[in-house]
């Protein structure tokens, strides 16, 4: 049996998405910037797809910019905004649990003279709102806080954070790559100015994403060429990818999220019933992404446990896929107070709407078998109090 539980890294493309994309490789193949009828036919589908995303978050049509994915969206939001607004200040606030696309964008700006402040989080990953507000200065121009954390699943209250930013006249960006279609986002009711999205986390194709930019927010393009995407992102649009992205959004439903959250809680309960000395990282219930499970196994190296799972057809992750080759423990786990030894014994399991109960049962059986085997040969004898 096989069990793919690394959907936080990427998801299978839904067959219905593939079907929707196929005509746009050879039948409707025009460049949407061309004025002839073949190009304008492609533009019509481009516009319809843009409207799908706009409708999903209740934004205006021209507030949606297509990009190559979540990383580019984060870079465009942070670096593009900083470039266009540096005359107003050079102070940016973010957190110590961001995705590398945000962290490294901020690091790049730091080399250019920007001052970056990082606000801490509590033991389950929630931002300290009072400390965040305390960091805001007269020269603060941007706050960037991840919506649903890619490692531990914590869902931040972006409405409250947005209110704080709006109160002080500071622009607010959130990375919603993991949370999009899993957590409702309504930009008419939430004071957020820029939001990053990605297709391949929601059963759409890779290489396509989007950035919501509220009207009135100025950014400098980070790529230069023609006047595509309302002069904010140069380059001929990836029409097949955009069509697939829009179709994936339409296919996403509340029932899918409910099923994932039920399986998530079942999985966690089974692990805690069957395996001793384990710790759940991140919050419980509705404050956690419906598909995310992050568990530390005392006295075990996650790399070894993950390898045994892989041999048995089970795909997992020891952290963010974008930093999985790093030998350093997860910065997110360190930020919530997990020590290095336990952090190195942590695996992330991320479900999809195609995950089954049989896969979960199989995974727990394999986990139990190999966790016990590895602990017998481990020189470490740490005891954890299982809490769920």
CB 192 within 8 A of CB 334: no
* Sequence-ordered list of residues with C-beta below 8 angstroms from that of 157, at least 6 positions apart, any chain: 126
Task: Establish whether 257 is a catalytic residue.
Answer: no
Tokens at residue 327, please? 């030998």
d(CA 12, CA 3): 12
d(CA 197, CA 59): 14
Catalytic site residue from 106, 165, 257, 322: 322
Q: How far is CA 113 from CA 72, 109, 123, 188, 259, in A?
A: 22, 7, 32, 34, 47
Torsion angles phi and psi, residue 279, rounded to 5: -135, 130
CB 323 within 8 A of CB 151: no
Instruction: Measure the CA dihedral 131/136/137/141, to 10°.
Output: 160
Burial class (CB in 10 A: 0-12, 13-18, 19+), 327: exposed
Instruction: Measure the CA dihedral 249/253/258/260, to 10°.
Output: -40
CB 302 within 8 A of CB 343: no
d(CA 200, CA 203): 6
Angle, helices 357-377/254-274, rounded to nearest 10 degrees: 30
Bridge partners (DSSP) of residue 154 are 288
Round to the nearest angstrom and report the end-to-end CA distance of the chain.
28
Kindly list the catalytic residues: 322
């Amino acid at each position: 049996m096989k069990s793919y539980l690394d959907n936080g890294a990427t998801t299978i493309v839904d067959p219905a998405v593939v079907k929707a994309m196929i005509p746009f490789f050879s039948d409707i193949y025009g460049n949407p910037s061309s004025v002839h009828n073949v190009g304008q036919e492609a533009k019509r589908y481009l516009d319809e797809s843009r409207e799908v995303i706009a409708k999903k978050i209740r934004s205006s049509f021209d507030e949606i910019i297509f990009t190559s994915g979540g990383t580019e969206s984060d870079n465009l939001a942070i670096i593009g905004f900083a470039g266009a607004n540096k005359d107003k200040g050079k102070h940016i606030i973010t957190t110590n649990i961001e995705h590398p696309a945000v962290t490294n964008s901020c690091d790049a700006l730091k080399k250019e003279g920007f001052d970056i402040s990082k606000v801490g989080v509590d033991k389950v990953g929630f931002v300290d709102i009072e400390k965040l507000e305390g960091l805001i200065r007269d020269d603060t121009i941007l706050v960037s806080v991840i919506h649903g954390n890619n490692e531990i699943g914590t869902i931040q209250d972006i409405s409250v954070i947005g209110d704080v930013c709006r109160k002080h006249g500071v622009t607010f960006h959130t990375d919603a790559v993991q949370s999009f279609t899993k957590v409702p986002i309504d930009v008419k009711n939430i004071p957020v100015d820029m939001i990053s999205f990605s297709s391949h986390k929601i059963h759409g194709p890779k290489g396509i994403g989007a950035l919501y930019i509220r009207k009135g927010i100025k950014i400098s393009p980070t790529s230069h060429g023609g006047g595509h995407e309302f002069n904010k992102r140069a380059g001929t649009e990836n029409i097949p990818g955009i069509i697939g992205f829009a179709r994936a959004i339409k296919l996403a439903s509340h029932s899918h999220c409910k099923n994932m959250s039920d399986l998530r809680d079942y999985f966690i309960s089974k692990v805690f019933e069957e395996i001793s000395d384990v710790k759940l990282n991140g919050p419980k219930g509705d404050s956690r992404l419906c598909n995310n499970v992050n568990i530390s196994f005392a006295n075990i190296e996650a790399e070894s446990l993950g390898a045994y799972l892989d041999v048995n057809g089970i795909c997992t992750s020891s952290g963010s896929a974008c930093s999985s080759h790093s030998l350093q423990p997860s910065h997110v786990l360190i930020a919530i107070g997990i020590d290095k030894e336990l952090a190195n014994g942590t695996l992330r399991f991320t479900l999809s709407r195609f995950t089954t109960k049989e896969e979960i049962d199989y995974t727990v059986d394999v986990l139990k078998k190999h966790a016990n085997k590895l602990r017998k040969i481990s020189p470490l004898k740490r005891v954890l109090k299982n809490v769920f």
